[in-house]
Structure 1
Amino acid sequence: MPEQHQMWSQLEKELSTSLTHEAPCLIITTSRNKWYTSTLNGAKLAGYPCTEFSQDQFRENYTELNFPGCCAFRHDLRIIDAHKAVQGLQNQFVKNGGTLLDGEKVMKIDPGKLVTVHTSNGHQFKAKGVVLTAGLWASKLLKPLGLDLPLKTWRVNVCYFSEKKPGSLKNMPFIWYASELDTESYSRIVAFPSREYPGLVKLNYHVLWNEVDPDCRDKGMGMRQVDIEEMKKFVRSHIPGLEREPAIVEPCMYTCTPNETPIIGSHPLHPNIAIACGMSGSGFKMAPLAGKVLGEMAMGNPPSFDTSLLGIDNFLPGQKSKL
């Protein structure tokens, strides 16, 4: 993440605008469990100053929040303004000679010394190296290339809750709350301070469910949405300054691996095809550095960062003989 911060800062300088802003982050769990201690140790190892709170200290510092009996620590982070960031990245891409082709679907990829990309508009693009970041459609694109990766596409809901008293939560921190499902897994609710919609606090429930086909993502939307119910319970219990019903609900899609570890690497048989997928909800913040590493791989250069823990081979147990 320190390198990511530098790259986002560099992009801000190039665009002469701000894309990120600093915010305090509260990590809160129901007990001093494995997830809590590993997150705390990871933040300290990365060099982020962390402050752990006793119950009295928490109540004194965060009077607008109600988390009795929980463990909590704080560190600072940067929140990215997603719309501005995408627009800025695209502008720089075009400025540096790139061409954007919106609404043109990739239909087929032929590997080789020259990789050929076939599109829905009948175009064929040939290149010595290709970067594939297909998001929700990664499985559909990679299986014909011999890669059957353990990817699942999930639909979740993002809820925005209004403040009961306008401005009362303007200083609310970013919250990452985890409750134990069992000894190895945790459900997590994330709460963002008001940003996209003034006066509305954004929440989403991070747990693996509602697997859908990305081409039929709205199927089942009329059914009871369990994650919305969990967020409403969370608001009632922990952020009493918010209305109990969401003012806005927006669907969100992302693709996960079983352990939520992103996949970043070269195709085992075609090293000039660099792939990133299964980012598990963490891909956006990693875009600058992931793009740098993928570009290096596609051009046949060693990546400037160690990606061995994220490599494709880690996700292909017993499948190498099939490639």
Structure 2
Amino acid sequence: MKNHYDVIVVGLGAMGSATCYHLAGRGAKVLGLERFDLPHAQGSSHGYSRHTKTAVYVDTPFEPFIERSFELWRLLEGETGQQILVTTGYLRMANTGSWDHLRDKVRHEVLTADEVAYRYPQFTLESDYHGLYDPVGGLLRPELGIASHLIQALRRGAKIHGREAVTGWKETAHGVEVETEHARYGADQVVFTGGSWTDRLIAGLGITLTVSRQPLAWVWPARNAASFDVGALPIWQIPAPECDGEYYGFPMMPDHPGFKLALHTFGETSDPEHLDRDARPKDEEEVRACLRRYIPDANGPLTAMRICMYTRTADELPVLDRHPAHHRVTVGCGFSGSGFKFSCAFGEWLAETALGQPNTIANKAFRFERLLGAADSA
């Protein structure tokens, strides 16, 4: 076949763009296919900012991936001259839990409610709250991260096609054949990083993926706006006891007006083709509850709202693995609202696996096998 590649990557959001970057960097002949624009706001990786931090991932399967991600984001910044990762510190506030296990493992501070109030008077906490401060935490700029991965992949020889939806694929005697609206392509391997569309792209995926609607909001602070600027405030997270979730937010950046915050919980289930992308009064009220309770100075007029998606697995851990029934297919999916920060390292793992190369990071926790029984019983 004339249009034959070493690897085709289907879906060029956070994971797919990073996978193309790492494949091209290893000298592979790569084709990346995306049904929407590059980058786009139809999936899970838009909205100007995403959290990254280290302390909360100590002693979890994510720990080596977050360490590697920090290295790779800085490497990408060096290649492009763009600031993708903005170090702000990360403040997690709660009235339960302990961080004793972090001692001697990672840089951090544990703060009393009074110490949080002294350092960050923007927050109003009850006396039984405490804070975990991670000095290396910060915000990532998702649109810039995706664009930077794609541009570097293109500069290294990758072929990248936007607005070209995949309509089918099959394994052949010599590899994999991928069909789109416009053409048919062949490859030795294919990587599916289709986000909320993954189980539509791979019939009989074998696991359950649940898509949920996730509103994001920006407000202009009612008082003391400068205290919410980047440099004055860390990224932050605090309980939402009314729904067993957590509020999270970001300092204000100069490229978008408003103080961004959202509710991290698994919201109304949907599917990617029929997601309601219009903001509702209830969406705004969810973040107003946070502002009234914890951050009253920020409780000013709304400047923007957007609707994002989470795609979660049964155990809320991602899948990074070869497909158990298709040895030429590698899959990255189900990042459960926490994927972007890891995307450069997850993309590296997916690229190495597709090429049959040794993995920089061992991965035992994110395999298909742990979920196959759960899908059968769902």
The runs of 5 or more residues in structure 2 that have no matched partner are 1-65
Aligned mates of 1:110, 1:286 — CA distance in 2: 30
Match of 2:288, SS state, is helix
Shift of 1:298: 1.2
Shift of 1:285: 1.6
Q: TM-score, normalised by structure 2?
A: 0.75
Partner of 1:167: 226
Return the letter of the residue paired with 2:80: L
| Alignment equivalent of 2:275, drawn from 189, 209, 217 | 217
Asked whether the 8 Å contact 2:139–2:250 carries over to 1, the reply is no
User: 2:149 aligned with 1:84, yes or no?
Assistant: no
Asked whether the 8 Å contact 1:161–1:245 carries over to 2, the reply is yes
Aligned mates of 2:129, 2:234 — CA distance in 1: 16
Partner of 1:73: 132
User: 2:125 aligned with 1:64, yes or no?
Assistant: no
Return the letter of the residue paired with 2:195: G
Partner of 1:116: 177
Partner of 2:294: 238
1:38-83: CA deviation from partner (whole Å, max 9, x where unpaired): xx467658x4311111222222212121011322111121321222
Cα 1:117–1:234 change in 2 (3 A) is same
User: 2:365 aligned with 1:309, yes or no?
Assistant: yes
User: 2:327 aligned with 1:271, yes or no?
Assistant: yes
Match of 1:203, SS state, is strand
Greater relative contact order structure (CA < 8 Å, 6+ sep): 2
Shift of 1:244: 4.2
User: 2:79 aligned with 1:6, yes or no?
Assistant: no
Match of 1:311, SS state, is coil
Partner of 1:150: 208
Asked whether the 8 Å contact 1:163–1:199 carries over to 2, the reply is no
Q: Is 301-310 or 88-97 further displaced after alignment?
A: 301-310
Match of 2:336, SS state, is coil
Match of 2:348, SS state, is helix
Q: TM-score, normalised by structure 1?
A: 0.87
The runs of 5 or more residues in structure 1 that have no matched partner are none
Aligned mates of 1:247, 1:88 — CA distance in 2: 27
Match of 1:9, SS state, is helix
Aligned mates of 2:150, 2:214 — CA distance in 1: 26
| Alignment equivalent of 1:106, drawn from 166, 169, 180 | 166
1:275-294: CA deviation from partner (whole Å, max 9, x where unpaired): 00011122222121111111
| Alignment equivalent of 1:126, drawn from 170, 173, 186 | 186
Match of 1:286, SS state, is helix
Asked whether the 8 Å contact 1:23–1:173 carries over to 2, the reply is yes
Partner of 1:176: 237
Cα 1:67–1:111 change in 2 (3 A) is farther
Match of 2:290, SS state, is helix
Aligned pair count?
305
Partner of 2:58: none
| Alignment equivalent of 1:32, drawn from 96, 114, 130 | 96
User: 2:117 aligned with 1:52, yes or no?
Assistant: no
Partner of 2:261: 203
Q: Is 73-82 or 196-205 further displaced after alignment?
A: 196-205
Shift of 1:139: 1.4
Asked whether the 8 Å contact 1:128–1:299 carries over to 2, the reply is no
Match of 2:83, SS state, is coil
Cα 1:279–1:64 change in 2 (3 A) is same
Partner of 2:355: 299
Aligned mates of 2:314, 2:187 — CA distance in 1: 32
Partner of 2:22: none
Match of 1:265, SS state, is strand
Shift of 1:92: 0.3
User: What is the percentage of aligned positions where both structures have the same residue?
Assistant: 22
Shift of 1:94: 0.3
Shift of 1:101: 0.9
Shift of 1:17: 2.6
Shift of 1:218: 2.2
Partner of 2:308: 252
Aligned mates of 1:256, 1:71 — CA distance in 2: 29
Asked whether the 8 Å contact 2:138–2:235 carries over to 1, the reply is no
Shift of 1:252: 1.0
Shift of 1:272: 2.1
Match of 2:247, SS state, is strand
Asked whether the 8 Å contact 2:221–2:300 carries over to 1, the reply is no
Aligned mates of 1:156, 1:312 — CA distance in 2: 26
